[in-house]
Amino acid sequence: MKSKCEKCQQSLSHESLAYICSYECTFCEICSTAMQHICPNCSGNLCERPKRTKQPLNVIKDQIKQKFFK
Ligand SMILES: [Zn+2]
Ligand SMILES: [Zn+2]
């Protein structure tokens, strides 16, 4: 995951709101709104980046759990 807006270089933490295209071009909310959610690099849609709320260890645990109970 990229940690900076490609347009204004504002730093974007994993918890902050950011927008990405399918090529993972990353922009802050202000820039993506100004660009009408169209990526200037690839003309793709910019979507809200999923936030990382869990610790990686918990994610792995949940993945194992899901496999186990399927
Ligand atoms: Zn920006
Ligand atoms: Zn793009």
Q: What is the pLDDT along the chain (70 residues), one digit of tens a residue?
A: 789 999 999 999 878 899 999 999 999 999 999 999 999 999 999 999 987 766 777 788 888 888 877 6
Ligand nearest to the CA of 41: 2
10 in a structural domain:
no
State both tokens at 67: 């496999």
Distance from the alpha carbon of residue 40 to the mean position of ligand 2, in angstroms: 7
43 in a structural domain:
yes
Distance from the alpha carbon of residue 36 to the mean position of ligand 1, in angstroms: 13
Per-residue pLDDT, 68: 77
Q: Which domain holds residue 33?
A: 18-68
Ligand nearest to the CA of 20: 2
Residue found under tokens 């690839």: 42
Q: Phi/psi class of residue 38: alpha, beta or left (left: φ > 0; alpha: ψ in -120 to 50)?
A: beta
Overall domain count for the chain: 1
Per-residue pLDDT, 61: 83
47 in a structural domain:
yes
Ligand nearest to the CA of 21: 2
Ligand nearest to the CA of 30: 1
Per-residue pLDDT, 13: 87
23 in a structural domain:
yes
Per-residue pLDDT, 14: 79
